[in-house]
Amino acid sequence: MAGLSLRNVRKTYTDGTDVIHGIDLEVQDGEFLVFVGPSGCGKSTLLRMIAGLEDITGGDILIGGERINDVEPSRRGVAMVFQSYALYPHMTVAENMGFALKLAGESRDAIGAAVGRAAEILQISHLLDKRPKTLSGGQRQRVAIGRAIVRKPRVFLFDEPLSNLDAALRVQMRIELARLHGEIGNTMIYVTHDQVEAMTLGDRIALFNAGRIEQVGRPLDLYERPASRFVAGFLGSPRMNFLRCEPAPSASTGSLRLRLGDAGEISLNRPVGAAVPVALGVRPEHISLTRTGDGLRARVELLEHLGDSVIMYASLAGQRDPVAVRLSAHPDGLEPGATVGLLPQAEHVAIFDAAGRAMSSA
Amino acid sequence: MALPVSPPPDPDQDAALASRGAGDGLAEGTTNVPASTSLIAEDLASPTPQHSGAVARPAAASRRRLTMRKAAPYLFISPFFILFLVFGLFPLLFSIYVSFFQWDAATGLGGMEWVGIDNYAFVLMQDDWFHKSLYNTAWMGIAGGLPQHLVALPLAFFLHTAFGRWRNTFVGIYFLPFITSTVAISLVFTSLFSREFGVVNAMLGALLHLENIDWWQPQYSKTMISFVVWWRYVGFNTVLYLSAIQTIPRDLFEAAIMDGASRWQQFRHITLPMLKPMIYFAVTLTIIGSLQLFEEPFVLTAASAGDGRMSGSGGIDQAGKSAAMHVFTTGFGENDFGTASAVAWILFMIIALMTMLNNRLLGRDTEGR
Ligand SMILES: Nc1ncnc2c1ncn2[C@@H]1O[C@H](COP(=O)(O)OP(=O)(O)OP(=O)(O)O)[C@@H](O)[C@H]1O
Ligand SMILES: [Mg+2]
């Protein structure tokens, strides 16, 4: 087991596409780090560079303090679980899992023992003699993970391993992956599109944007204290509401007061900074309904019943996008067309400057 | 070919519809034909002037037209079937029939003489030239066929891994011999293998210090023919294998790389097993092709005859005579079409047997991947 360091890592593909623009990242020994980000931002590319399947154009990658830029993929001590599972169709499950050891020239007994142990951890001992094509998606996924475990890697790499599974199985495998990480305690890097996977699995999340890391931190830190508008908008569903705002002219006292077009003003219990805030961000669950007249004036557009909660979409004067509000229940008499007052909870409000950076909160 | 056709329309009703249609200013084709009927029916029912004008026209006329409509598709595809029947199926069946007769074609059909299975018995028991030609065919099939695959498989893997953009160009070059006329190829090789001035002898002399070889001597001619056959088809097999390799998911190779597989191990443990269905297919083609081998020995062995003709009869001691050539010489050389047909059918049975064996050997477990 070992930690992983990325130092100013860059990647330019041979066709000239610049994909990774200098990434610095420290992954602790035994940590579960999740890479998230929009499609095409270079998550897979970076993972494949760590694995050794892509050349490293610039910078260094270290595993356990050792520079591995020029080390062969199989000698880096990393194992990768592919999105497609990439199981060898002509081999049995046991042969699939033991293939690396066989190539390494281990004895039959040693291979059998290692495969048996891994199969036990993943509860696939009864499948060892089967061919991949006879397995279900979830079972194939387990075999793919088992093949990685057998190699006893220092670092596990997962590239969207659950995206081919249906929703229920995904939840189950997610829980098992968390259990597996607890059990074997290796360093794991996990690429996903799925916010829930990112929030629940990761010790930390690295959020990528166009070949750069936008923010790294614990899931709740990213959720509650996003460093930028991009991060704030990426995590959370429905996503954070962004409202255009400007400092209110009456802001003379020490605390910050923002004006949101014609909808009204809100005052935040925080000092006026040097930069000018241009956008106010507030999550749907951090807005409460008040009587008309109090708070921001809004008109109800649409109500979505999710069962456990209701999402209300309301339009504010002077704002382009409707505001989403999460309500725990459907209040009496609330209909599309009604006028309501919205009260963002000041302590949960984030404000952003013109460059999209979050301005120091509280 | 059953087209849904509605019954022929009543001309009276047609006319009525037509006049109403005209009165309403509607476009033609708006009739009572339901949307579900076929185009043909709709067309028939449309109030064309011809229909509406000849109110008293008997229904038989349109019925005749209908049957023509039905017959037309068969008419259009008939040339193939007629040609197939005349030049494909008939000769096939006739050759079975002939194989039980003693027949010199020059005597006409009246000269056929029933001999039962004598032709088969003769070919199997006594026809030494057939036995020799069969041995030659097997020899050249193995010497010319096996190396095709032994070379094409690694070559395809190499082309796949080593060439990016230029791959197709190389494949095209390898494929060229396959689409070139056998006669042209054989002529070129005849001069390449020439004893005094041939490039092959010059090279062997320079590299291995061998004396000039007379490739048309019985001990060499099969080697020469096998080489030409190998050279001609190795590219075709390479293309087959390359196309199959390209369908192997890249992930599998990457997983193997992560597992520590070298190039050779990737080939051995991933490519080869994944190619098994294609190997089965390609070997089947080679088996069939080898047992039908004709053109290459036919033209190449002509050179030894030295009479300037293009048709060889197997060279000195018939060392290069294939079984298919034996069919040819028996039939067209000796005018013994009964025996020639028997040889052809025996050859067919051997091909069927070999293909079955190959299925046992390579065809198992290739489906459902
Ligand atoms: N072999 C390649 N050659 C050139 N460009 C490539 C290559 N592979 C990927 N790219 C480009 O690199 C960028 C990043 O790709 P990558 O697969 O790393 O994205 P990703 O973040 O994993 O996206 P996704 O979430 O959709 O999987 C994309 O713009 C892609 O087009
Ligand atoms: Mg990806």
Would the pLDDT of B32 be above 60?
no
Lowest-confidence segment of A262-271, A312-321, B26-35 by average pLDDT: B26-35
Would the pLDDT of B194 be above 70?
yes
Q: What is the CA(A137)–ligand 2 centre distance, in A?
A: 19
Would the pLDDT of A362 be above 70?
no
With an 8 Å Cβ cutoff, is A34 touching chain B? Answer: no
Q: Which long-range contacts (CB under 8 A, 24 or more apart) does A251-260 make?
A: A256/A351, A258/A351, A260/A296, A260/A316, A260/A318, A260/A319
The overall average pLDDT reported for chain B is 80
Q: Which residues of B touch A54 (CB under 8 A)?
A: none
Give the nearest partner residue to B251 out of A82, A104, A151, using CB atoms: A82
Residue A99: the pLDDT is 96
Which is more confident, B45 or B352? B352
Chain-chain contact of B273 with A90 (C-beta, under 8 angstroms)? yes
Q: How far is B248 from chain A (nearest CA, A)?
A: 11
Would the pLDDT of B2 be above 50?
no
Q: How far is B240 from chain A (nearest CA, A)?
A: 20
Residue B305: the pLDDT is 58
3-class SS string, chain B: CCCCCCCCCCHHHHHHHHHHHHHHCCCCCCCCCCCCCCHHHHHHHCCCHHHHHCCCCCHHHHHHHHHHHHHHHHHHHHHHHHHHHHHHHHHHHHHHHHCCEECCHHHCHHHCEECCCHHHHHHHHHCHHHHHHHHHHHHHHHHHHHHHHHHHHHHHHHHHHHCCCCHHHHHHHHHHHHHCCHHHHHHHHHHHCCCCCCHHHHHHHHHHCCCCCCCCCHHHHHHHHHHHHHHHHHHHHHHHHHHHHHCCCHHHHHHHHHCCCCHHHHHHHHHHHHCHHHHHHHHHHHHHHHHCCCHHHHHHCHHHHCCCCCCCCCCHHHCCCCHHHHHHHHHHHCCCHHHHHHHHHHHHHHHHHHHHHHHHHHHCCCCCC
If one residue of A17, A54, A159, A191 were mutated to test the ligand 1 pocket, choosing by the most ligand atoms within 8 A of its CB, it would be A17
If one residue of A21, A44, A47, A209 were mutated to test the ligand 1 pocket, choosing by the most ligand atoms within 8 A of its CB, it would be A44
Which is more confident, B108 or B83? B83
Chain-chain contact of B259 with A74 (C-beta, under 8 angstroms)? yes
Would the pLDDT of A176 be above 70?
yes
Lowest-confidence segment of A75-79, B66-70, B253-257 by average pLDDT: B66-70
Residue A17: the pLDDT is 92
Which is more confident, B118 or B53? B118
Residue B11: the pLDDT is 43
Chain-chain contact of A86 with B254 (C-beta, under 8 angstroms)? yes
Q: What is the CA(B246)–ligand 2 centre distance, in A?
A: 22
Residue B12: the pLDDT is 44
Give the nearest partner residue to B259 out of A52, A84, A99, using CB atoms: A99
Answering whether pTM is above 0.80, one says no
pLDDT band for position B10 (cuts 50, 70, 90) = very low
Q: Which residues of A touch B258 (CB under 8 A)?
A: 51-53, 73-74, 78-80, 100
The mean pLDDT value for A169-176 works out to: 91
Residue B65: the pLDDT is 78
With an 8 Å Cβ cutoff, is A88 touching chain B? Answer: yes
Residue A97's closest chain B neighbor by CA?
B259
- Read off the pLDDT of residues B265-292 as tens digits, 9 standing for 90 and up: 999 999 999 999 999 999 999 999 999 9
Give the nearest partner residue to A88 out of B258, B265, B270, using CB atoms: B270
Residue B311: the pLDDT is 66
Chain-chain contact of B254 with A88 (C-beta, under 8 angstroms)? no
A17 lines ligand 1 (CB under 6 A): yes
Residue A320: the pLDDT is 87
Say whether A48 sits in a helix, a strand or coil.
Answer: helix
ipTM: 0.86
The overall average pLDDT reported for chain A is 91
pLDDT band for position B52 (cuts 50, 70, 90) = very low
Domain B124-366 has CATH 3.40.50.1820: no
pLDDT band for position B186 (cuts 50, 70, 90) = confident
Would the pLDDT of B171 be above 70?
yes
The mean pLDDT value for B149-176 works out to: 87
If one residue of A10, A11, A13 were mutated to test the ligand 1 pocket, choosing by the most ligand atoms within 8 A of its CB, it would be A13
Q: What is the CA(A208)–ligand 2 centre distance, in A?
A: 12
Would the pLDDT of B369 be above 60?
no
Would the pLDDT of A66 be above 80?
yes
The mean pLDDT value for A142-149 works out to: 94
Q: Whose CA is nearest to atom 28 of ligand 1?
A: A40
Would the pLDDT of B45 be above 70?
no
